[in-house]
Amino acid sequence: MYLLKKLIKIDMKKQLSNKKPSIEELKKKLTPLQFHVTQQCGTEPPFNNEYWDNKKDGIYIDILTGEPLFISKDKFDSGTGWPSFTQPLEKKNIVEKEDKSLFMKRIEIKSKAGNHLGHVFNDGPQPTGLRYCMNSAALRFIPVEKLEKEGYRKYRKLFE
């Protein structure tokens, strides 16, 4: 059991480094959809993705780096078919970038390592008025009961 815990800690340290793997490594690690979304600024289909209707308590992390991004307490049903949040859990773990594609001006949300996550819009509910519209393919959900086991103990208190 000790060895397993040690291996999990080592793997978490590896995952939490925001050094970006090579394209070849990414293609091996990610599904084609995850690669398209995170590396080619793609968008997954609405209402047909893993977390759009997830109602469980927990946190959402970057699928590649393991950086904590969002918490279920800030998640809301935006009616768009994608997981939407009023604010990031850790603002320091996201980067905002102007996006002028598709003949409109938007703010793209990326991880610190440069992985595309989604976009933020100013049509969300209070208290922020923001809607962080994310792609499930760029996220991994960790339920509250697994936070400690997966190395995210400090976020457990946010659910007490």
Mean pLDDT for each 10-residue chunk of the chain (160 residues)?
37 52 90 96 96 98 96 97 98 90 83 94 96 98 98 96
- Residues annotated catalytic, as ranges: 133
Q: What angle do CA 48, 53, 58 make, to 5 degrees?
A: 125
The pLDDT value recorded for residue 22 is 85
Helix runs in the chain, H state only: 2-16, 23-29, 32-40
Count the alpha carbons within 13 Å of 138 in the hemisphere toward its beta carbon: 30
Count the alpha carbons within 13 Å of 150 in the hemisphere toward its beta carbon: 20
Instruction: Find residue 84's DSSP bridge partners.
Output: 76, 133
The pLDDT value recorded for residue 153 is 96
**Integer Cα distance of 99 and 148 in angstroms:** 36
Strands (E), the chain: 58-62, 68-71, 75-76, 84-85, 94-99, 106-111, 116-121, 131-134, 139-143
The pLDDT value recorded for residue 2 is 35
The pLDDT value recorded for residue 124 is 97
The pLDDT value recorded for residue 102 is 65
Which token pair is 144?
């509250």
Count the alpha carbons within 13 Å of 3 in the hemisphere toward its beta carbon: 0
The pLDDT value recorded for residue 4 is 34
The pLDDT value recorded for residue 99 is 77
pTM score, whole prediction: 0.85
The pLDDT value recorded for residue 19 is 65
The pLDDT value recorded for residue 12 is 47
**What are the structural domains, with CATH classification, of the chain?**
2-159 (2.170.150.20)
